[in-house]
C-alpha cells in the first residue's frame, strides 16, 4: 500500500530491453539509500519491485502487461517519474490508500490555468468514472488528489501551486496519458452493489 504522497521526482537513467519487458533504471539518492532489493516502490503510481539497488540507482523490471496498461511503456532516459515507497505500519496517512495497481490510462482533456493554480480535466473509461464521486479520491500518476467534478466521460481535479511544481502534473498538456487508480473503497462498494442486486 502507498499514500499517494510523492516523495521524489526522480530521473529515468536507462530503459533496457529485457523481452518481453524492460528494466527501468532510476536515479534518486535519497530513496535508494533507504531501499533494498525486494522493496515495493510505486513509480507513477504503479507498484514495482526493486531488483537492484546500487548507490543512487534502483532497477525495476516491468513486464509486457504493465507496459501496455500504464504510461511506463512511454518512458525514455531523462524522463521524470514520481516515486512513493510502500507504506509502513504506523506511518501517517496524508493522502489516501493507494494500492499501486493501475486501473487505466486517462488522457489530459484540458487545463484551466489561473495564476499559479490549475483545474485539470481528464478523459477516462466509463468503468473507472463509475467508481468516482465529487470530493472523493483518485490517484493520477500516483498522486493522491481530490475529485472536483465527475462527468459522464471525464473528471477534474484542482492542482495547487505546490503540486504543480513538485510533480510532473505541472508539465502535463492536453493529449498526455496518465495512470489512474480509483479509490479501493469505491471498488468494494461497487462490487457489493453488483452482487446484492443481480
Hey, what domains does the chain have and what are their CATH numbers?
8-85 (2.40.30.20), 104-196 (2.40.30.20)
Residue matched to cell numbers 508539465: 171
Residue 87 has pLDDT above 90, yes or no: no
Each residue of 61-72: pLDDT tens digit? Answer: 999 999 999 999
Beta bridge partners of 23: 16, 61
Nearest C-alpha neighbor of 123 from the set 108, 103, 113, 135: 108
Residue 92 has a pLDDT of: 74
Percent of the chain exceeding pLDDT 70 equals: 97
pLDDT in tens, 31-57: 999 999 999 999 999 999 999 999 999
CA 29 from centre of chain:
21
Does position 20 have pLDDT exceeding 90, yes or no? yes
Q: Pick the residue with more confidence: 168 or 186? A: 168
Helix (H, G, I), strand (E, B) or coil at 30: helix
Cα–Cα distance measured from residue 118 to residue 49, given in angstroms and rounded to the nearest whole number: 33
C-alpha cell at 166: 513538485
CB atoms within 10 A of CB 23: 15
Amino acid at each position: 500500500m502507498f499514500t499517494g504522497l510523492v516523495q521524489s521526482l526522480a530521473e529515468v537513467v536507462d530503459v533496457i530491453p529485457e523481452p518481453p519487458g524492460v528494466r527501468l533504471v532510476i536515479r534518486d539518492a535519497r530513496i535508494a539509500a533507504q531501499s533494498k532489493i525486494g522493496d515495493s516502490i510505486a513509480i507513477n503510481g504503479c507498484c514495482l519491485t526493486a531488483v537492484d539497488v546500487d548507490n543512487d540507482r534502483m532497477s525495476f523490471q516491468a513486464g509486457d502487461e504493465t507496459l501496455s496498461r500504464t504510461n511506463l511503456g512511454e518512458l525514455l532516459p531523462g524522463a521524470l517519474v514520481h516515486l512513493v515507497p510502500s507504506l509502513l505500519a504506523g506511518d501517517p496517512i496524508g493522502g489516501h490508500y493507494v494500492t499501486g495497481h493501475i486501473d487505466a490510462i486517462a488522457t489530459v482533456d484540458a487545463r484551466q490555468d489561473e495564476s499559479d493554480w490549475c483545474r485539470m480535466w481528464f478523459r477516462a473509461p466509463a468503468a473507472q468514472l463509475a467508481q468516482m464521486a465529487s470530493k472523493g479520491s483518485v490517484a493520477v500518476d500516483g498522486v493522491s488528489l481530490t475529485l472536483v467534478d465527475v462527468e459522464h466521460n471525464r473528471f477534474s481535479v484542482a492542482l495547487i501551486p505546490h503540486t504543480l511544481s513538485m510533480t510532473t502534473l505541472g508539465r502535463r498538456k492536453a493529449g498526455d496519458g496518465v495512470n489512474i487508480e480509483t479509490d479501493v473503497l469505491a471498488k468494494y462498494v461497487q462490487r457489493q452493489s453488483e452482487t446484492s442486486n443481480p
